[in-house]
Amino acid sequence: MPDVPAPADRVNILLVDDQPAKLLSYEVILRELGENLVMASSAREALEHLLKIDIAVILVDVHMPEMDGFELVELLRQHPRFEETAVIFVSGIHLTDLDRLRGYQVGAVDYVPVPVVPELLRAKVRVFAELYRKTRQLEKLNAELERRVAERTSALELANARLRESEAELQQSNEELERRVEERTREREAAKADLLQMQKLESLGQLTGGVAHDFNNLLMAMLGSLELLKKRVGEDEKARRLVDNAIQGAERGAALTQRMLAFARRQDLKPETVDVAPLIEGMTDLLRRSIGPNIEIETRFGPALKPALVDATQLELALLNLGLNARDAMPDGGRLRVCVENATAPRQGGAPDALGPGDYVRILVEDSGIGMDEATLARAVEPFFTTKGIGKGTGLGLSVVHGLVTQLGGAMAIRSRAGQGTTVELWLPVGKERPAMTEQPAPQAGEQRRCRVLLVEDDALIMMGTTDMLEDLGHEVLQASSAAEALDVLEKTTVDLMITDHAMPGMNGSELATRCRQRWSDLPIILATGYVDFPAQVSGTVKLTKPYRQAELAAQISALVPGAGGGAASLVA
Ligand SMILES: Nc1ncnc2c1ncn2[C@@H]1O[C@H](COP(=O)(O)OP(=O)(O)OP(=O)(O)O)[C@@H](O)[C@H]1O
Ligand SMILES: [Mg+2]
């Protein structure tokens, strides 16, 4: 006996016949197949079963009352679910070829004649049952396969997503690590650059100082010889001019070496206790004139300001230098703010590293100008570093200021960003005692006369130097930085004397002198000029060759204004 399917694998076989005896005989024949046999005694009953359970094979009698086998199968085939269901027709009566054809047309798949040969019937049913079972199994396997593929795909997708996630995490932590390494490297580089910069300034200072010192001595020797030579050339005007020219060059060289010495902190300083606020107040006029009307100057003084221990003249020069830098940084105008306050290092933020702990007077010079990019800021203090072009800047301004405050025991710090202005901080040591109030002695009878002098000069530094000389001689000085300004002053005030520079933009000194002659015929005028080929003299004026010494200035003044003059120290303008 062939194998019987396991209970779970059994398929349903529907036997349809209106005669119970025949149904029974089919049942007996097919029982040994081991499948489920379902009996129906009419087409209607068969339909009921078909709708309820899955049928593998239908064994149907062709001739039945009501609906015959063909009609039943025809009806079934209209439904997609039964399109493929195997049907075996059984016919007890003789079938014509036409009947046979009809059977196949409705999709019947086989045909068993009566009398039924049991082996044949069993064999046919088994084949169809087996086909059905295999088809179902295949379908199941397919579904399982699809399920597994889907499962595997989603597992893979999940794994992929996780991988991507952890890749992103890895990348993130890598980036974080890289960022930190970069940050540390940057910090280290910055610290190294600061250190290098300090060392560089230090060694540049030593070098410059040494060179400047030697040069200064050489220049002094040259100047001494030239002065002597000048006396010897006597009346030879041309030779005198040549010597003057040489003296002028040597003196310019000496002024430059002075600045270099200042940077090298080898200046001859006279530190004294100075109240900084009045010093700044006193020079705002000069500042205003040097930086022009487009820049607004603002001063702010903190409460209970301590005095500073500084060289007043050098501090003024330093502030003037900072003011000029600010002017150059604000070609279209802007604001210059000078603040003074008491400050403590290192508690107060921004105290320069080089500064020892203690109390200081801090001056802030702040402009709203173009500022500096990192590269410029890093080199700004270096001597001879300038962005102003050949002949325009020496690049010594900030180095001199730095040298000065360092020599005084203070420090300088610069804060700046491109497009965001610049702030220079000068930290100055506090002076030990208040400056003694020295009363000016009243002039005695027979003493030299105090003159009111109008000084016309477009160069702020020379203006300052000459003003110092004149004030030192006991004169009162009114300042004008152009010929037009000078005429303005003369309209409003009476002066004893006018000293004017020759080379000035707009109206020059000679033109100014000529104009003055026409209106104020007896006004004494001194024309100062550095030019060898001086233009035709204006009557009633005397010439003073630049650079002049205080003694020369005093001599010229006393020559023009009887009673004015005085002994004088030597100073170079
Ligand atoms: N207030 C400022 N705003 C913007 N840049 C500045 C300022 N001060 C200085 N600098 C920059 O620093 C450089 C060096 O300044 P420093 O005063 O030493 O020399 P300089 O002004 O170029 O020449 P000099 O002072 O001899 O006229 C300047 O050329 C400029 O680039
Ligand atoms: Mg400068």
Among all bound ligands, the one having the nearest atom to the CA of 381 is 1
What are the pLDDT digits (tens) for 372-401? 999 999 999 988 899 998 767 888 899 989
pTM above 0.85, yes or no: no
Does the pLDDT value for residue 238 go beyond 80? Answer: yes
Using CA atoms, how far apart are residues 213 and 211, in angstroms rounded to an integer?
Answer: 5
pLDDT of residue 438: 42
Does the pLDDT value for residue 10 go beyond 90? Answer: yes
What are the pLDDT digits (tens) for 164-210? 999 999 999 999 999 999 998 988 887 787 777 777 777 777 777 77
- Centre of ligand 1 from the C-alpha of residue 395, in Å: 6
Determine the average pLDDT of the residues in 490-502: 91
Name, in order, each residue with C-beta under 8 angstroms of 163's C-beta and a sequence gap of 6 or more. none
pLDDT of residue 350: 65
Does the pLDDT value for residue 216 go beyond 80? Answer: no
Determine the average pLDDT of the residues in 55-80: 86
The reply to whether ligand 1 has any atom less than 6 angstroms from the CB of 421 is no
Does the pLDDT value for residue 433 go beyond 70? Answer: no
pLDDT of residue 443: 42
Nearest CA to ligand 1 atom 17: 397
Sheet arrangement for strand 476-480: 476-480, 452-456, 497-501, 525-529, 541-545
- Centre of ligand 2 from the C-alpha of residue 389, in Å: 12
Does the pLDDT value for residue 101 go beyond 70? Answer: no
- Centre of ligand 2 from the C-alpha of residue 414, in Å: 13
Mean pLDDT check: name the lowest of 51-60, 247-256, 428-437.
428-437
The reply to whether ligand 1 has any atom less than 6 angstroms from the CB of 524 is no
Using CA atoms, how far apart are residues 313 and 317, in angstroms rounded to an integer?
Answer: 6
For the chain, what is the mean pLDDT? 84
Name, in order, each residue with C-beta under 8 angstroms of 493's C-beta and a sequence gap of 6 or more. 452, 478
Q: Which residue has the higher pLDDT, 109 or 530?
A: 109
The reply to whether ligand 1 has any atom less than 6 angstroms from the CB of 255 is no
- Centre of ligand 1 from the C-alpha of residue 544, in Å: 32
- Centre of ligand 2 from the C-alpha of residue 327, in Å: 9
Does the pLDDT value for residue 421 go beyond 90? Answer: yes
Nearest CA to ligand 1 atom 27: 393
Structural element, H or E, at residue 558: helix 550-560
Nearest CA to ligand 1 atom 9: 325
Q: Strands 308-310 and 12-16, how do they pair?
A: unpaired
Atom of ligand 1 minimally distant from the CA of 370: 4
Give the ranges where 455-508 is alpha helix by DSSP (H).
460-472, 483-492
Among all bound ligands, the one having the nearest atom to the CA of 380 is 1
